[in-house]
Amino acid sequence: MNLVDFISEFPDEASCKARWKAYRDKVGVICPKCGCREHYWKSDKESYECKQCQYRQSLRANTVMHRSQLPFRYWFITMHLLTSTKKSFSAKELQRQLGHNNYNPIWAMLHKLRMAMGKRDARYELKGMIELDEGFFSTETKVGEKGKKVKRGRGSQKKTKVLVMAESEPVDDQKKKRYKKPRKVNHIKMFAIDDLKAATIDPIVSENVAEESTVNTDNSTSYTNFDKLVKAHRPKVIPKEKVGELLPWVHIAISNAKRLLLDIYHDLKPEYLQSYLNEFCYKFNRRYFGNDLFDRLLIAGVSYKNEFRYNVK
Ligand SMILES: [Zn+2]
């Protein structure tokens, strides 16, 4: 959907509300009190009323818009921009475009949508041949670390560690001409992590990778338990210059994500890095969805109750 189509489809608050309701009805409204799935629609109150216990919830309740005061149209414009732009944009830019006085609610709206993206992607389990490695993303120094001497390199307080996994199938000879790379990528996942201990990484792998998978990594000691988590673990000694060849997609994903973040966000706080990674992975994993992406984000938006919390001074 281009901007002209978007404007004619969603010219006002009423058209956005109507679409939001249609998607809530499609996904199904659940009563938070009794779990009942049957509701009356009270159009005068713009609320659902549970047929069993008469509990009422608003059109926004228990969705990504839970307790939001922003107009529906802001949410729709933001979802449109998030799904139609190749890169991303800052909350400051969005605030300017919406002409809204207050920065914080706009910034929070973006994070709420990214959280819904992350929840949607969490439903996918990676399987088949998987590349796994770590990336080190530049972030602001954590509050407690400020004033301390800055370490250099991988252990630096200015870097946040990110575990990256990519489904990466070898391309067979017949199809080689169509693909420039020796491997074809499907889904990817990225997780900001505090450290590279096996105790941190193992649960993420067992939760996100199917047991029947084969995982390719370097020979880091962080991965020593992988053979218990998946069918096959193939650790290899990988010299730096061979990384692009042996683990191509994790490294393409890492450098693309880094470039994107660097372009748009300055002073990235480590506690919000995951949110930006959610957006990057969500878009990457749906790169062939085209026009459907907006509808998919609407479905994600009505499906998950917001849990994003922030402290506004
Ligand atoms: Zn109920």
Question: Mean pLDDT, consecutive 10-residue segments, the chain of 313 residues?
Answer: 94 97 97 97 96 97 96 97 89 96 95 96 96 93 63 70 95 68 89 96 97 95 95 93 88 93 82 94 94 95 90 47
Cα(29) to centroid(ligand 1), Å: 10
* 175 class by beta-carbon count within 10 Å (0-12 exposed, 13-18 middle, 19+ buried): exposed
pLDDT in tens, 179-201: 667 788 999 999 999 999 999 99
Cα(48) to centroid(ligand 1), Å: 10
Q: What pLDDT is attached to residue 8?
A: 97
Crossing angle of the two packed helices 248-264 and 273-285, in degrees rounded to 10 = 120
Cα(306) to centroid(ligand 1), Å: 20
Q: What pLDDT is attached to residue 45?
A: 94
Cα(30) to centroid(ligand 1), Å: 8
Alpha carbon separation from 178 to 130, 184, 273 (Å, rounded): 21, 10, 34
Contact yes or no for 69/104 (Cβ under 8 A): no
Percent of the chain with pLDDT over 90: 76
Cα(274) to centroid(ligand 1), Å: 35
Alpha carbons 85 and 205: distance in angstroms, whole number:
31
Q: What pLDDT is attached to residue 312?
A: 46
